Structure 1
Amino acid sequence: MLDYLTGTGGRRLDYVRRGRGAPLLLIQGMGAHHAMWGEELLSLLEPEFDIVAYDHRGVGRGDRADEAFSTADLAEDAAAVIASVGWSDALVFGISLGGMVAQELVLRHPELVRALAIGCTWAGGPDGVMSETSRRMVEAFATRDPDHATKTSFEANFSRRFAAETPGLLETYQSRALSVKVPVPVIQMQWQAALAHDTGDRLGTVTRPTTVLHGTADAGIPVVNGHRLAGLIPGAQLELFDGAGHLFWWEDPARAAAALTQLERRAADRNDARGWTT
């Protein structure tokens, strides 16, 4: 069921909550929303996790976002969401822009992050690699033509193999993408926040169990960024989805769910070994 919770400064944000188990916060990417996680993944996660998937500021029925923001600002929203739900901490899974937000969250509020999963994302800065495909997608959104925008983002988000092998995928993608309103000005501010993101010289301080997930055929944020992230975060495990595109969890939801379950077990084992409680 869709409901509101409170972000930074009392801002209302849409969210859905389902499942039982360990707390799991899902943070979506640029131009996306909670429905883009898909039933295929969520149905696999809900036996193991208490899932909260929220929408970024300015998305859906939440309060408007009229001023520019950074990934650090969005991380404060994520921290407020965890507090609003009543959790002490959570396994945090962020993808694309959401992965950048998750990085800032663990750096600013490590006590809130039980374990960190970041997918199809980058650390930014001069060593980050952003593709022209992502730029073309933002330009397509700016036309305000829903059909053109969703077809362009569809081509950017999936591997050619998966698109060819999955009947009705374009229609399913368009239906989900357009089910929640994401204003073009918000997408443009998200894009600028992503371009300004830079955590490369700080990620070495992360101590939480971390898994980096990336499709090897990601046309939007190339896989070289996943390799770099795994090298920057001490002890991080790298899960490569061979031949998968940007939305790797659509292409292999079972493996994505298994990676999150395994990460939660790593976190639980680590906490038990140290005598922690959460």
Structure 2
Amino acid sequence: RHALGMRLEMWDALAAQLAPPPPVLRYDHRGQGGSAAVRAAYGINDLVDDAARVVREWGRGPVVFIGLSMGGLVGQGLAIRHPELVRGLLVANTAACFPEANRQGLVQRAEAVRAGGMPAIADAVLDRFLMPATRAEQPELAAAVRAHLMQADAAGYAEACLAIRDADWRSHLAQIRCPVQVVAGSADLGTPVALSQVVADGVAGVQLSLLPTAHLSVLEDARGFSAALGTLLKRLP
């Protein structure tokens, strides 16, 4: 499940790494990508319940759920609130709860897009999503990520900022019983390794894979991300 402001196409590179190709379901969070626009406020539990409904309607559960950033928050909630739907969980570049500085930053970002639309924040977000070297050496990738940000619905983006601002799974992590793999980016400024480590420490038997990336680890190191997924798959019952 994709990062804030992105689309399901974010997973194309990873899907291409999987062999033999398993059944894969990708979806856009409410109010983002190709999903219908939303104007009413919602919380992280609503996003979790959206994911549960998608899995149930797909009919292939329990699933190996993969979520990055915002999607990682949803994945944690799914394993906690709907454990029967999750066989394994990979969460990347995510936190169980954001510290106050990050929470205030999400509020400011929501206010900025409400006032000036996505152009008000697209370049700053891109700088945090991809490392400088990636932006310089892979301009087409950087342009695609920026285009996805610019295409995002501003109102939906703002509501999503507030939804993840209030998420806090810390006291529930020990309830997760399925195999879990945590991925972090060594150059991730938005969700530093220490925040991902909280997730890894909160669930029994969790391993953390550290990749040489910024926030969008699956785009900057698809092979490393695929290897982390492979480690998880080997641990499935």
Question: Do these two structures clear the TM 0.5 threshold for a shared fold by scoring above it?
Answer: yes
CA distance change for structure 1 residues 70 and 188 in 2, over 3 Å: closer, same or farther? same
CA distance change for structure 1 residues 184 and 222 in 2, over 3 Å: closer, same or farther? same
**Range moving further from structure 2, 140-149 or 199-208:** 140-149
Match of 2:234 in 1: 265
Give the TM-score normalised by structure 2: 0.89
Match of 2:174 in 1: 204
- 1:115 partner SS: strand
Alignment partners' CA distance in 1, 2:65 and 2:193: 21
- 1:164 partner SS: helix
Structure 1 position 260, deviation (Å): 1.2
- 2:53 partner SS: helix
CA distance change for structure 1 residues 195 and 211 in 2, over 3 Å: closer, same or farther? same
Alignment partners' CA distance in 2, 1:249 and 1:198: 24
Asked if structure 1 preserves the Cα contact closer than 8 Å seen for 2:64 and 2:88, the reply is yes
Q: Cα RMSD over matched residues?
A: 2.3
Is 1:172 the equivalent of 2:141?
no
Structure 1 position 138, deviation (Å): 4.5
- Compare relative contact order (CA 8 Å, sep 6+) and give the higher one, 1 or 2: 2
The alignment covers a number of residue pairs equal to 237
Match of 2:16 in 1: 43
Alignment partners' CA distance in 1, 2:93 and 2:152: 20
Which amino acid in structure 2 is aligned with residue 104 of structure 1?
A: G
**Identity over the aligned pairs, expressed in percent?**
29
Alignment partners' CA distance in 2, 1:167 and 1:196: 34
Match of 2:97 in 1: 124
CA distance change for structure 1 residues 141 and 42 in 2, over 3 Å: closer, same or farther? farther
- Structure 2 residue runs without a partner (length 5+): none
Larger helix percent: 2
Match of 1:161 in 2: 133
Q: Find 2:195's aligned residue among 222, 225, 230.
A: 225
- 2:209 partner SS: strand
Larger strand percent: 1
Alignment partners' CA distance in 1, 2:219 and 2:163: 25
- Structure 1 residue runs without a partner (length 5+): 1-26, 272-278
CA distance change for structure 1 residues 167 and 182 in 2, over 3 Å: closer, same or farther? closer
> Cα deviations across residues 53-85 of structure 1 (Å, max 9, x unaligned)?
101112344334232211111111111101111
Alignment partners' CA distance in 2, 1:131 and 1:58: 20
Asked if structure 1 preserves the Cα contact closer than 8 Å seen for 2:187 and 2:214, the reply is yes
Larger radius of gyration: 1
Give the TM-score normalised by structure 1: 0.77
Alignment partners' CA distance in 1, 2:107 and 2:193: 17
- 1:47 partner SS: coil
Match of 2:32 in 1: 59
Which amino acid in structure 2 is aligned with residue 155 of structure 1?
A: D
- 1:238 partner SS: strand
> Cα deviations across residues 172-217 of structure 1 (Å, max 9, x unaligned)?
3223444xx5321211111111111011011012111000001011
Q: Find 2:210's aligned residue among 229, 240, 246.
A: 240
Match of 1:187 in 2: 157
Equivalences for residues 19-98 of structure 1 within 5 A: 27-37=1-11, 39-45=12-18, 47-98=20-71
